[in-house]
Chains A and B, each alone.
Chain A
Amino acid sequence: MTDPHDHAHDHSHVDHGAEALGYYETMQIALTELLIEKGVFGAEDVRREVEAMHARTPARGAAVVAHAWRDPAFKARLLADGSAACESLGIAMGPTRLVVVENTPGVHNVIVCTLCSCYPRVLLGLPPDWYKSRPYRSRVVREPRTVLAEFGLELPNDTIVRVHDSTADMRYMVLPERPKGTERLSEAALAELVTRDCMIGVAVPSRSSPR
């Protein structure tokens, strides 16, 4: 037997390129192939799920934030039960239990997952690489102000910095403060000011935030 592809189904290694596979890549491919062979799901289901995962973007979270800025009753519901409030906007939250933490003039919030890379993907899409990196995860819990300064966000000492470590079943999103001078902006224009990093808490929106 010289053909390594002696198993019955057709598949391409289109995602894997020509480089040697690492341990976890090999395990992931083996597991996927076995689940497809056993009929748990089909290759098309995997493809569709990956496509859907890449289609989720921070624009969803930004729309939630902009709505909360304009509608105080919605904001109150969002802070009380993040998942239910997002569902009420037509966002299918699935099993995600969302906790929204609000930045105020005296309080700044920042999100991390020290154990792995838990992230509110349903609202923010895929996490940036730095969010999953060991330096961010290990440092932001013990020297958040230094890490935030490295992101260009210097906070005065009279601001309370609250770090939120997503260690279990909740997912977190920061509700940033609405920038001054935006009273006349439409909800869509407000959403343009809200970037991914603002909802993780390593940045704050400004009147002229680039998207």
Chain B
Amino acid sequence: MSARFAPGEPVRVRRAFPPGHVRTPYYARGKAGVVERLCGAFRNPEELAFGRNGEPKQPLYRVRFVQRELWPDYAGPAHDTLDIELYEHWLESP
């Protein structure tokens, strides 16, 4: 598996709204974060949901966002974070 992004690297979630079974929460789309770790390669759920084989496997990352990036009105301190798993085809360089 060749992974495009490395831990610690800044990324941005694609701001896209395709139909179908998508595992990228709306609240993360278009938001900037940092790769926390590479989880491995997994079959693409957007394909699996339609009975296809989900190949080729997609690198899956955990991406860490600061809460104020996700929610500009976040009431807690600036150091609070949220981690999400995101497949590589949802990520781009910021």
- Residues of A near any B CB (own CB < 8 A): 97, 99, 114-115, 141-146, 157-158, 160-170
Contacts and interface: CB of A to CB of B under 8 A. Distances in A.
A168 B42 contact: yes
Interface residues of B, number: 26
A202 to B, nearest CB: 16
A165 B82 contact: yes
Contacts, number: 75
Interface of B: 23-25, 27, 39-40, 42, 45, 60, 62, 67, 70-71, 74-77, 79-87
A163 B76 CA distance: 13
B25 A162 contact: no
B75 A162 contact: no
A162 B80 contact: yes
A141 B27 contact: yes
Contact of B82 (A97, A145, A162, A169): A162
Contact of A170 (B39, B67, B77, B81): B39
A171 to B, nearest CB: 10
Contact of B81 (A99, A145, A163, A169): A163
